[in-house]
Amino acid sequence: MLKRNAFLLGSALSLSLCLPVFAEDTQPTGDAPAQMEQPAAAEVAKIDATGATVLASVNGDDITLGHLIVARQALPQQYQGLPNDVLIQGLLEQVIQQTVLGQAMGELSRRAEIELENQRRSMVATEKVQQLISTAVTEDALQAAYDATYTGAEPTQEFHASHILVETKDEALDLIKKLSEGADFAELAKEFSTGPSGPNGGDLGWFSAGMMVKPFEDAVLTLEPGQVSEPVETQFGWHVVKLMEERMKGAPPLEEVREELAAQIENDAVEQAVSKLLEAAKIDRIDLDTIDAEAISNLSLLSK
């Protein structure tokens, strides 16, 4: 039902966007309905300056520029590229239609009331989160997070390896034989590997200890750069592994991890704020064991 409603309202908007506008060329004649007076050009800047400007009134319910601003942000992607002088007309018609439909509805159903309550909670919570993170990330906070994470950290050993993944040990042994006869590792990987890295010549890029399954990692640790392993079995199949190179990597520069640290700072700020609010709140809960969990799928309860 919700999808159908969204489709109907979207269709109404689509129609209103496609309708040509003849208001500038058509003058009211005879008994034609009176048209709302258009603002003079000099008044446009004044109207655009405030979101409280009333653009239409439906049975006493005002529709403001602010309503259209918010509605524009919620438009589907296919409408986002349309010029605002087209969108403003279509959006106004859409909100007018929504308003008359809402007025005709009368009293909301219990389900609709609950949906509005949930939407309001979600919107207010989202706005609070945005408020929290808008001031959380500063240069001082980034530097402090960087120092806490990387100061004094020991360099870590990293490995750059490639592999060819096949289904059987015999296939792996055959590949090792081909390599010993001078075949190119990357070309064999492209031709025979069943893993996602096959088209890229089996290249796995750089990784450190703990990032690969243990049998694979153990095999890598026994190799010198340029060496190829014996067949290695994991839950994915049989691997032929080649260690390309290895290095000791120290702390990355701040700029390299700026986004990662910023995300962590924002997350910490929200978690701390929520924790404090929960501690200060008086929360009474019932024992959920007294409620049949299947009840949350029973829409008929909303009619009671």
Centroid of chain to Cα 41: 41
* Strands 61-64 vs 54-58: parallel, antiparallel or unpaired: antiparallel
> b or e along 222-252 (b: 16 or more beta carbons within 10 Å of the residue's beta carbon)?
ebeeeebbebbeeeebbbbbbbbebeeeebe
Beta bridge partners of 208: 158
Q: Are 272 and 141 in contact (CB under 8 A)?
A: no
> b or e along 149-172 (b: 16 or more beta carbons within 10 Å of the residue's beta carbon)?
eeeeeeeeebbbbbbbbbeeeebb
Residue 105: per-residue pLDDT: 84
Q: Quick one: fold of 156-249?
A: Chitinase A; domain 3 (3.10.50)
CA distance 159 to 152: 22
Q: Are 269 and 136 in contact (CB under 8 A)?
A: yes
- For each of the chain's 304 residues, which pLDDT tens digit applies? 444 444 444 544 544 544 433 333 334 444 444 444 444 444 444 455 578 889 999 999 999 999 999 999 989 988 888 999 889 999 999 999 999 998 888 888 888 899 999 999 999 999 999 999 999 999 999 999 999 998 888 898 999 999 999 999 999 999 999 999 999 999 999 999 999 999 999 999 999 999 999 999 999 999 999 999 999 999 999 999 999 999 998 888 999 999 999 999 999 999 999 999 999 999 999 999 999 999 888 888 887 6
pTM for the full model?
0.55
CA distance 79 to 81: 6
Burial (Cβ within 10 Å: 0-12, 13-18, ≥19) of residue 115 = middle
Domain boundaries, the chain: 2-23+39-106, 110-153, 156-249
CA distance 109 to 303: 8
Centroid of chain to Cα 236: 31
Compute, in degrees rounded to 10, the torsion defined by CA atoms 43, 44, 46, 48: 160
